[in-house]
Structure formats: structure tokens, C-alpha cells
Structure 1
Amino acid sequence: MRFTPSRQIAGALALGLLGACSPAPAPDRAQAQTTDAPAPAAVQSQGLDPVAMARVVEQARALPNLHAVIVARDGEVLAEHRLRGAGLDQPVNIKSASKTVLSALVGIAIDRGVLTGPDQKIAPLLAANLPSGGDPRLQEIEVGHLLSMQAGLGRTSGQYYGAWVTSPNWVRHALARPFDDDPGGRMIYSTGTSHLMSAALTRAAGASTHTLARDWLAQPLGVAIPPWLRDPQGIYFGGNDMMMSPRDLLRFGELYRLGGEIDGRRIVSAEWIEASWTPRTRSPWSGHDYGYGWFTKQAAGHPVHFAWGYGGQMLFVVPSLDLTVVMISDPSPRPREESHVSQLHALLDAGIIPAAIAGERRPPSPSGG
């Protein structure tokens, strides 16, 4: 299915708040920007409460680092706002939300037999980069450990990031990090761990991670994933700097909400999506559960699965409410604003989800009234 903006809902959400302040919509979406406010009953039948969403839009406009918000329910785009920054069809840096897309590629690779499963050992695939006399625990690291940040290797993120990305061989550098835990232990968030997954996938498939993303994901979905940064050996950066437009990221989220099949085409298995959303560890910083490239939390009693990129590149999927939400932010805020991501979560938890609950589609009464 392709998304269709609701002209009635777009008008209700605007309520005069964005008509004069937002950049002009792209020509192909101009029809979605209407000021004809429907009656409340008609709005509720479409799935979002207009009063609650008007507050969300106003709050979103007040966040200087927030560039775009898109809300879809049951496949229909009900709110789509470019607040500032790039257009909604322009690829932007989704930062560590790249890890979530990489996880999808791994699932497809397993479905196709390129990888044997999440318990496959990665040392044979990366044998050329294993350090001489390295820790024997390197032989125990599995594909699933890389996806869930449970490899046990010391971090390459945070204070260690600069030394890693300026090293002559990113894969070798990440494999040479001292172990902080055993494979399968606690969550150690490290983009180097995701890069090992990109390298292992490239070796197993005999094709670049970008080629796989284009052929296995972008083309079937009808989206664009242009080339992004590569390491000195030509391995595409695993876990950072992937480029997708806000609308295309929403399309990717819809694929997961629909269980891996979209427009009648199976792209990734439902079993892989379930496995990816199954909590395997927990972030020591946010407290959110983590599966294979996806964080999970609860909001108003509803499970929320989300991708999270630095600065506030967010993809939220709420299956029980048929919701898919994208929020795109400044990817390099200066200075770093720690509160921004929590404000984005608040927009979802205290705004969009209540609007969806209030606007639930109700079955017709037996009398037809």
C-alpha cells in the first residue's frame, strides 16, 4: 500500500497553526494542506482526535531542533509537517536508526540463506581481521550478539569514537577492543559492533551493504537509500550515516507494522520482525528494552517499538494502534541537547497516542445510527 494523506485530517490538524508558519508543502502534497476543518465526528472516524493533535503540532513547532513529523494510522498519512530543514522527500542522515535498517537486511539475508541464523558465529567471516593472539571469546560472538549489542567488546562509541573512525581499519580496530563482558552478556552500545555486522554481511553475501539495501529493501519498497559513508576498506558504515527521506523511513516502518509484507509482496519474514522486537537486553542509560536493532517501551499500555538516531531521528511503530510515526531532527545539534529526545517521546506518549486512542474507529451501532 502507498500512503494517502487525508485532506480532512490535514485541515483539522492545521487549525491555523501551521498554515502561515511552515514552509510551503511540496507540489505533490499540496492537496493535503487544506483549511477546511471537518466536524469532530468525521475526524474521529479517521483515527486521530483533532484537538489533541493540534496541541501536538503546536508543541512540535516549539522544538527548535525538530525538523519534521509524520503520523500514519492504518497506512494513511494523517499528519505530515515539515517544520524546518530538508523537504520530506529529501534523504537525510538517520544516524543510528541505521542500525534498525541493518537489522532488516540481516533478517532478509537469513531468509535467503546468505546467513544461517542469529546464532551463526561471525569469526569465520571476519577471519582476515581477527587480531593475532586475540581473546578466544572472539570465536563465540554470534550474529545476534552484534544486533543486540551483546558482543561483549569494549565500546567504540562515545569517547572512543574518534580513535575508531580515524583508525586505518575499522573492522580490525573494533575486533581488537578489550572485552568488557562475555558474548551474550549485558548491553554495550557500540557502533563498532554494528559495523562488524555490516562487514560480516558483506563477506557472506559477496556484495556491499549498500547494494543489498538497494536490491533487497529499497527497490521492493519503492524507496531510495543512496550510498553513504564507507570505511577505508570500502565497507559501508554499519550503524550510522545511512540516508533516507522522512517519507521513506515511514514506509520502512509500515513494512514492520504490517509484519514484513507490503503491497502484496513479502520482503522480510514475520518471524524475523517478532525476533527483532523481542527484548534481549536493556539500555543502561534509557532503561528501554532492546532486541535486534529495535528499542521497545510501553506507552499508555501499548507496546512501542522504535528506532533511535542521534539528535532525535525517530521511527515509532505502535502495532496495537496501527500507528507509524517519524520524527526527524537536527542530526548534529550544537550544543548537544539531552532533553530533546525526551521531548520527542513526550510528543508521542502524551500527544499522538492519546489522540489515536481518542480517535479510535468505532463500529457502527446495531441500529445503524
Structure 2
Amino acid sequence: MSLTAADLAPAIDATAAALTRAGTRPHSLLVRQHDRTLADLRWAPWDTEEPCLVYSCSKTFTSAAVGMAVEDGAFGYQDTLVDLWPEVADAAGPRASRIRIRDALAMATGHSQEQADEVATAMAWHRRPVGDETARAFLAAEPEHDPGSSFAYNNLATWMLSRIVARTTGRDVAELLTRRVLDPIGIGPVPWTRDLDGFPLGFSGMHLRPGQLARFAQLLLDDGVHRGRRLLPAEWIAGHRVSHIDSDGDTGTDWGMGYGWQVWRGLHGYRIDGAMGQLALILPEADAVIVTTNNIDGAQPVLDAVWGHLWPALEARGSGLNDDVEPYRRTLEVAPVAGEPAPERTVRATTGAGDRLVIRPTGGGWTVDLTRTDGGRFAIRVGCGQWLHTHLRLADGELEVAASGGWAGPELTIDLAVVTTPHTLRLRWGPDGLSEQWDTEPLNPGGLFGQARPAPGR
């Protein structure tokens, strides 16, 4: 059977509807098959041209950089972390001393999940990692199990890999990838949050457009070869996409099918996976790539929608191509806040972080004048019945915020969609004062301004 891109539209629409029903708060859905884009959907105010935080999708890029460093002879998959970071080797016990590069790639360092979470919480999220101090804390947590024997999701294992690449090659993972992979496939330098020493976090922090993530996923589907030129090592390609360790599946069926080198095996193919439903599915059986970005805590419903509606249509498409039509494109919208236009009144409030807000009616909507505790001042435009965008330039990056609001009786509600992340912050002002609530809590601390996107190369 040979189906066109247009013939795929019912399956795309059914998938989009299923994502909405499941409460995944979708932001994009992009489908490629046989190296052609078949469908490209977005949900405004998220713009597919706006680089957005993809959380742990970053891990797969770090893994690729490790593969490149191995191919270059900087180290090997069997080498231990302590041999490659000797300054902190004295902190490691007998088991920690045996953790290899391949163990860190497979989330098989031997740490229990409780150990991994405890060290990561203390050293990575509440304050970004820093050199020897964090490496020492990681190795000082003596694994409960032998390295290579058990799975535990471990952000700092990936951070260690990122830093070891920089230590041994003289280039950080972003530099290595940009020059040899991202530039050739048309992505170029991308924003990547860095640790306190200025190196990419490795485990998180990349900001990518859906199309950029799809290009990298396409490269993986094509065995690391782009336009006849090998960009990713054959050894890493073969190794990264097979299961190296059994995974527990506690967060959903597709999380229990094994873990590769910073990728997850799934019901079909395997995937690049970031928190809140940032997913790139590599599906060799259908010669297809699916990228979808969402905002849900626990993304199995995203995969269920894809497997139930989109996968059968892709599987039915034969190798014969008849795609001389434009890709199926559609723009949907995250509903703006329902409510009435502004009465002629100004609202003043103070956030939990101590920032001062003055919300004043302007032209049928509002302007939020925000004065931070450090003296910085910003103005955010808010639409009534629509989203209005404001670009904020900060000392350490930038934020793109789309805002809508409305009065309902004595309460004013304003949604701040931080479209450089998956998240939306809801402000509600009423007789009891101001309340603030994220739809899903960001993993990066610091409230609204803690979600800043760094400039590429920073």
C-alpha cells in the first residue's frame, strides 16, 4: 500500500485529539517517514520556531558525544570513572571504583534509586553541579549493588560523562556535537544550561525546536549517516539502541522495556525522552520518526495515544512513496483564560519570592509590571481572550512568555505560558490576595525567572 501524507491526516487528528483527552497538554506533534516530513502540528502559544527546554532529551546528545570521544581514542567504554577523574578517586569505595563509562551510559552504576535521588537532589537541582565537589559526592555514595547489575535513573552519572568528555578531549559536549554533528545536519549551536564551572549539564538543559529534535532523531534512524557521510560512530550507533539493563517500568509500560545508552526501549523502537513528555520516537520498523512535546507529569498517556492512533497508520504505509504533496500542517491553540475584560482597577501584590507586581488594565487586557527583589523591572503584556507574547532579556538568559487573563467575579486569573519551557504559571488574585501555581512543577528551581533559556554557547 502506498499512502500520501494527506492520507495520514485522520490518524494525525485522532492522535492530537487523544493527547488532548488524556490531558497531556500537547505543544507539538511532528511526523517523518521515509526521510520526509508528513505532518507538523503545533499548539499556540507554543511556537515550533521557539527553542524550548527538552529536559532529559539532552542525555542522548551527551551519550553521542561520549561515543565520539571513544572513537577519537580519548577513553574507552570499559574505562572507569575514577581512572578518568583521578583527583577524586580517593572518595570512591570498592564498588564506586569499578563504575565504567558503559555503566554510567546505561544508568547501571549500581546505586539504588534512593541513593541516586538523594545525591542528585543535594548537588544538581537545588544548586547546579560544580567540578570536583560534585564528582566527589557522586563517588562517595558507595553503590548498594555491583556496577552493571541494576538500573537506577541517575542524572549525575550523565553529568560525570559530560565532564569526562571535556576533561579528556579539551572540548565540552556542546562544542564537540556542534562542530561535527549539529552543524552538518542543520541544527547549529543550541542553548544548553551549564553547571557552575561553565560546562553543559549533560543530563538536562538543552533547548530545541521540535524540528531540530526530529533532525537528530532522523540521524539516529539513518544509522548516524547524513547524506552519505558518517557523523556518528558505528560502534556507538550499534550500542546505544539496544537494551543494556532491565528497567523497572514503575512510571509506565514503555519504561519497563529496557534501557540503552541514554535512550529507552519501547513497545516500538526506542526513544529520546525528556520530562513532561518531550519525546522523539525512533521507529526502524516503520522507517519513521515522531517528535511530540507536551506538559504532563508521567508521559505514558502520550505513548498510548501514539501507539493507538498513529502507529497503525505509519505501519500501513509501504515503502513506495507518493508524497509529492505538502506536509499536513495544522495550528491549534491552548485555550486562553476565560473571563471578562479588565474593569478599571489596578491590582498590587507581592509574590512568594518577594517580587512586586502591579497589574493594570491596558487596551482591553493588562500589563503586569514586575519589580524583582534585585531591582530588575519587567513588563509583561496580557491578553483577554487571546495570548500576547513578551520577550524578556535577563542577565543570564531570556524568557519568552505568552500571557492571557480574565476576571471572574472578584477574582483575576492570569496564565503565564513560559514557551521557552513546557510550563505555565497561573497567577490568581482575589479577596485572599495572590496565589501562584504551576501546572506542572518545573524541575529547575527559581520560580518564573529560574526558567531562563541561556544564549547558545553559554
State if a TM-score over 0.5 links the two structures. yes
Distance 1:85 1:191, change over 3 A: farther
CA distance, structure 1, for counterparts of residue 5 and residue 177 of structure 2: 34
Distance 1:135 1:160, change over 3 A: closer
Q: Which amino acid aligns with 1:76?
A: R
Is the Cα–Cα contact under 8 Å of residues 68 and 84 in structure 1 kept in the other structure?
A: no
Q: Deviations over 1:280-320 (max 9, x none)?
A: 11221231211111111234xxxx11011111110101112
Q: Look up the match of 2:258.
A: 289
Deviation at 1:154, TM superposition (A): 5.0
Q: Look up the match of 1:11.
A: none
Which of 66, 80, 99 is 1:141 aligned to?
99
Is the Cα–Cα contact under 8 Å of residues 257 and 267 in structure 2 kept in the other structure?
A: no
- Asked if 1:269 is matched to 2:233, the reply is yes
Distance 1:363 1:231, change over 3 A: closer
CA distance, structure 2, for counterparts of residue 270 and residue 68 of structure 1: 31
- Asked if 1:317 is matched to 2:275, the reply is no
Distance 1:157 1:230, change over 3 A: farther
Deviation at 1:93, TM superposition (A): 1.1
Distance 1:262 1:142, change over 3 A: same
Q: Look up the match of 1:298.
A: 267
Which of 300, 312, 326 is 2:291 aligned to?
326
CA distance, structure 1, for counterparts of residue 277 and residue 197 of structure 2: 30
- Asked if 1:162 is matched to 2:128, the reply is no
Q: Which runs of 5+ in 1 are unaligned?
A: 1-40, 365-369
Q: Look up the match of 1:84.
A: 44
Q: Look up the match of 1:125.
A: 84
Structure number having the greater helix percentage: 1
Q: Deviations over 1:37-92 (max 9, x none)?
A: xxxx97x1459644333311322344452111100001111110111343223221
Query: Identical aligned pairs, as a percentage?
Result: 23
CA distance, structure 2, for counterparts of residue 298 and residue 248 of structure 1: 24
Is the Cα–Cα contact under 8 Å of residues 224 and 248 in structure 1 kept in the other structure?
A: no
Q: Which amino acid aligns with 2:135?
A: V
Q: Look up the match of 2:339.
A: none
CA RMSD, 1 decimal: 2.4
Q: Deviations over 1:19-40 (max 9, x none)?
A: xxxxxxxxxxxxxxxxxxxxxx
Q: Deviations over 1:294-353 (max 9, x none)?
A: 111234xxxx110111111101011121110101123xx6xxx33xx1111112211111
* Paired residues for 1:204-243 under 5 Å: 204-243=168-207
- Asked if 1:98 is matched to 2:61, the reply is no
Is the Cα–Cα contact under 8 Å of residues 194 and 205 in structure 2 kept in the other structure?
A: no
Q: Look up the match of 1:308.
A: 273
Deviation at 1:175, TM superposition (A): 1.8
Q: Which amino acid aligns with 1:238?
A: G
Higher radius of gyration, 1 or 2: 2
Is the Cα–Cα contact under 8 Å of residues 153 and 175 in structure 1 kept in the other structure?
A: no
Is the Cα–Cα contact under 8 Å of residues 58 and 202 in structure 2 kept in the other structure?
A: yes
Distance 1:233 1:171, change over 3 A: farther
Q: Which amino acid aligns with 1:325?
A: I
Q: Deviations over 1:100-145 (max 9, x none)?
A: 1111111122222233x3112221221113344x302333221111
Deviation at 1:151, TM superposition (A): 1.4
Structure number having the greater strand percentage: 2
Is the Cα–Cα contact under 8 Å of residues 93 and 139 in structure 2 kept in the other structure?
A: no
SS in 2 for 1:130: helix
Task: Give the total of aligned pairs.
Answer: 310
Deviation at 1:162, TM superposition (A): 2.8
CA distance, structure 2, for counterparts of residue 192 and residue 215 of structure 1: 25
The answer to which structure, 1 or 2, has the higher relative contact order (CA under 8 A, 6+ apart) is 1
Q: Which runs of 5+ in 2 are unaligned?
A: 323-458
Q: Look up the match of 1:34.
A: none
CA distance, structure 2, for counterparts of residue 243 and residue 213 of structure 1: 14
TM-score normalised per structure 1:
0.77
Is the Cα–Cα contact under 8 Å of residues 243 and 260 in structure 2 kept in the other structure?
A: yes
SS in 2 for 1:83: strand
| Residues 245-254 or 353-362, more deviating | 353-362
